[in-house]
């Protein structure tokens, strides 16, 4: 092949590669546009930011914020540093509990903070596309969904509507705690439910398990205390 032909072929190939790169960058929410700066570059840094933010929240010393200031920049994309799989309980708001700005946390919420297919897909999107460095499964004490599951497993009662689906989904993580009775059963069930779903996310193929193995993301569990606002790792 002549030199001129080689140059033309290389040129066409460069154009094709550039087009493919643009398509891959734009197919998920405008990734080709300028992205906001990520607050944490590693899983350890992400966890430290959450812990520091929660300490400010507990001390009632949140950072002062102008929420209107970053709106224009956030139209160009998002770069959350952590994802939260939290309970839908109205008393537990992750952005407040960890004293973070809009765009810092990628939050998935469902009563009982357990992994659903849709929730898993959302967390995979957060990790693989948005670049979150940490996933925290966040439970809390006095969780109505956990208490309902414990009672249903103990008494065999049937809950109305789709609430029964919550119990069926949470049963695998909570049922083992019923082997040991005691006044702390409700709290042990909360912790067990968090730990069970942490393990589910760590081993979720094909995306999260591979990223965990490579150290690209970390999955941890936490329990929020309603009285103090403190999040303790479990």
Number of domains in the chain: 2
Distance (Å, whole) CA 21 – CA 118? 27
Whether residue 147 is found in the same domain as residue 222: yes
Whether residue 5 is found in the same domain as residue 94: no
Q: Which domain holds residue 109?
A: 34-233
Whether residue 17 is found in the same domain as residue 39: no
Whether residue 38 is found in the same domain as residue 115: yes
- Residues 112, 140 contacting (CB under 8 angstroms): no
Whether residue 28 is found in the same domain as residue 40: no
Tell me what pLDDT residue 7 has.
44
Tell me what pLDDT residue 66 has.
86
Whether residue 118 is found in the same domain as residue 209: yes
Whether residue 43 is found in the same domain as residue 28: no
Tell me what pLDDT residue 69 has.
83
Tell me what pLDDT residue 80 has.
97
Whether residue 8 is found in the same domain as residue 85: no
Which stretches in the chain have pLDDT values below 70? 1-35
Whether residue 14 is found in the same domain as residue 64: no
- Residues 127, 211 contacting (CB under 8 angstroms): yes
Tell me what pLDDT residue 35 has.
59
Tell me what pLDDT residue 117 has.
98
Whether residue 183 is found in the same domain as residue 214: yes
Tell me what pLDDT residue 37 has.
83
Q: Which residues contact 145 (CB under 8 A, 6 or more apart)?
A: 87, 111, 112, 166, 170
Whether residue 161 is found in the same domain as residue 229: yes
Whether residue 127 is found in the same domain as residue 62: yes
Q: What is the pTM of this model?
A: 0.84
Which CATH number goes with the domain that contains 139?
3.40.1050.10
């Amino acid at each position: 092949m002549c030199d001129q032909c080689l140059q033309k072929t290389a040129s066409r190939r460069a154009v094709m590669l550039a087009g493919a790169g643009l398509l891959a960058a734009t197919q998920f929410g405008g990734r080709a546009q300028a992205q906001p700066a990520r607050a944490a570059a590693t899983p350890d840094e992400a966890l430290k930011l959450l812990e520091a933010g929660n300490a400010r929240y507990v001390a009632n010393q949140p950072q002062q914020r102008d929420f209107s200031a970053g709106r224009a920049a956030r139209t160009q994309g998002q770069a959350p540093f952590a994802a939260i799989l939290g309970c839908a309980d109205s008393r537990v708001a992750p952005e407040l509990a960890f004293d973070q700005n809009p765009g810092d946390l990628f939050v998935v919420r469902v009563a009982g903070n357990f992994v659903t297919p849709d929730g898993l897909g959302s967390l995979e999107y957060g990790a693989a596309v948005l670049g979150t460095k940490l996933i925290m499964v966040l439970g809390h004490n006095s969780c109505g969904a956990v208490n309902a599951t414990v009672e249903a497993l103990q008494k065999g009662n049937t809950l109305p509507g789709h609430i029964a689906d919550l119990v069926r989904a949470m049963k695998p993580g909570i049922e083992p705690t019923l082997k040991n009775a005691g006044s702390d059963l409700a709290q042990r069930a909360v912790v067990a439910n968090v730990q069970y779903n942490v393990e589910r996310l760590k081993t979720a193929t094909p995306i999260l398990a591979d990223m965990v193995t490579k150290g690209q993301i970390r999955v941890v569990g936490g329990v929020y205390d309603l009285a103090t606002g403190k999040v303790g790792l479990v």
